[in-house]
């Protein structure tokens, strides 16, 4: 038993030291960024990412470092990754929009019906985990309202309990729908950033196929299919074609 306890203690100590090491990289990266050493900052942030850590703040700082280096493709990539973790963050949205003004392609997205735009706006307020947490909290609040309704002998409190239970459970239901929808969208929608300065989109997964249109570094595309080292892609205006996988980096 003592041996098992010792192993657990050593394991926890190792993890603690490892975590402190990554935190040290972040501190050094922040200092390098503040001093204007953006290349060094990006290298240090990348070490933390390679170690398996992820957070919207880490990805956001990495995006900022690349933006300062005028590497807008990588800046957009990391802002998009940060946005997936924290979709309602206004700073991420602002910097992502600024970075998109720096690239060559200005693609107008297809117009959405108002109810889809409204739903997607609500969906993107929080991440799937945040929506799920909100739903669970509201569900518990609804259960407590139900308990108050069933347990109280005072009519006024019973009315409060009834309407609280109804309201909280109703909103919790929609919060959990948003959580599931957000999770499903994230899992089913695979997007990537173009990392070739200029590349022609083909009509089929073949270099000899017909040229369709040209995209440039930093453009975001949706991945639809993957065949023999080629991705079928779709851009914001609905145009579809094929690009070699080496020219793209998944978000």
pLDDT at 47: 94
Q: Is residue 10 pLDDT above 70, yes or no? A: no
Q: Indicate if the pLDDT at residue 194 is higher than 60.
A: yes
- Residue 32 in any domain: the answer is yes
Better pLDDT: 150 or 118: 150
**Claim to verify: residue 176 and residue 194 sit in the same structural domain:** no
Q: What is the predicted pLDDT for the residue at 19?
A: 54
Query: Does 41 share its domain with 86?
Result: yes
Which one of 101, 123, 139 terminates a domain?
101
Q: What band does 1 get if pLDDT is binned at 50, 70 and 90?
A: low
Q: Which of 235, 230, 224 is nearest to 247 (CA)?
A: 230
Range(s) of the domain holding residue 124: 114-188
DSSP, residue by residue, 109-162: PPP--HHHHHHHHHHTTS-HHHHHHHHHHHHHHHHHHHHHHHH---HHHHHHHH
Q: 170 with 214, same domain?
A: no
Q: Cβ-count burial of 133 within 10 angstroms (0-12 exposed, 13-18 middle, 19+ buried)?
A: middle
What is the predicted pLDDT for the residue at 4?
45
pLDDT band at 21 (very low <50, low <70, confident <90, very high): low
Measured CA to CA, the distance from residue 132 to residue 148 in angstroms comes to 24
* 169 part of a folded domain: yes
Are 121 and 60 members of one domain? no
Largest CA distance in the chain: 80
CA 215, 193, 126, 98 torsion-angle sign: negative
Whether the predicted pLDDT of 239 surpasses 80? yes
Same domain, 10 and 88: yes
**In the predicted model, what is the mean pLDDT of residues 114-133?**
85
107 in a structural domain: no
Crossing angle for the helix pair 155-188 and 114-123, to the nearest 10 degrees: 100
Whether pLDDT at 18 is above 60: no
Average pLDDT of the residues in 90-106? 95
Q: How many residues does the chain have?
A: 251
Q: What is the CATH number of the domain that holds 78?
A: 1.25.40.10
Same-domain pairing of 183 and 201: no
Tell me: do 182 and 194 sit in the same domain. Answer: no
Among 139-148, 177-186, 221-230, the range scoring the smallest mean pLDDT is 177-186
200, pLDDT greater than 80: yes
Please indicate, yes or no, if residue 106 is contained in any of the structural domains: no
**Total count of domains within the chain:** 3
Task: Identify the domain boundary among 53, 69, 101.
Answer: 101
Residues 70 and 123 in one domain: no
Model pLDDT, residue 165? 95
- How far apart (Å, rounded) are the C-alpha atoms in residues 17 and 11? 10
Does residue 109 fall inside a structural domain?
Answer: no
Average of per-residue pLDDT values in the chain: 89
Residue 5 pLDDT: 52
Are both 137 and 48 inside the same structural domain?
no
Last residue of a domain, one of 188, 206, 230: 188
As a whole number, mean pLDDT of residues 131-142 equals 95
Which of 51-55, 135-139, 246-250 bottoms out in mean pLDDT, i.e. has the lowest?
51-55
Under the banding of pLDDT at 50, 70 and 90, the label for residue 12 is very low
């Amino acid at each position: 038993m003592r041996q098992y306890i010792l192993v657990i203690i050593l394991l926890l100590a190792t993890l603690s030291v490892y975590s402190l090491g990554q935190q040290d990289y972040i501190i050094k990266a922040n200092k390098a960024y503040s001093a204007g050493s953006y290349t060094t900052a990006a290298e240090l942030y990348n070490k933390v990412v390679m170690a398996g850590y992820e957070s919207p703040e880490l990805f956001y700082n990495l995006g900022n470092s690349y933006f300062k280096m005028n590497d807008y493709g990588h800046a957009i990539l990391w802002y998009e990754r940060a946005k997936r973790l924290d979709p309602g963050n206004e700073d991420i949205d602002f910097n992502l929009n600024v970075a998109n003004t720096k690239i060559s392609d200005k693609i107008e997205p297809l117009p959405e019906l108002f109810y889809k735009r409204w739903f997607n706006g609500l969906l993107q307020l929080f991440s799937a985990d945040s929506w799920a947490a909100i739903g669970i909290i509201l569900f518990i609040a609804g259960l407590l309202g139900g308990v108050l309704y069933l347990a109280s002998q005072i009519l006024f409190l019973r009315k409060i309990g009834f309407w609280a239970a109804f309201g909280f459970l109703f909103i919790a239901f929609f919060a959990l729908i948003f959580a599931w929808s957000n999770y499903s969208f994230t899992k089913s929608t695979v997007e990537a950033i173009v990392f070739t300065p200029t590349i022609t989109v083909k009509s089929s997964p073949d270099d000899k196929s017909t040229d369709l249109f040209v995209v440039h570094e930093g453009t975001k595309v949706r991945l639809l299919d993957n065949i023999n080292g080629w991705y079928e892609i779709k851009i914001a205006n609905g145009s579809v074609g094929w690009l070699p996988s080496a020219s793209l980096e998944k978000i």
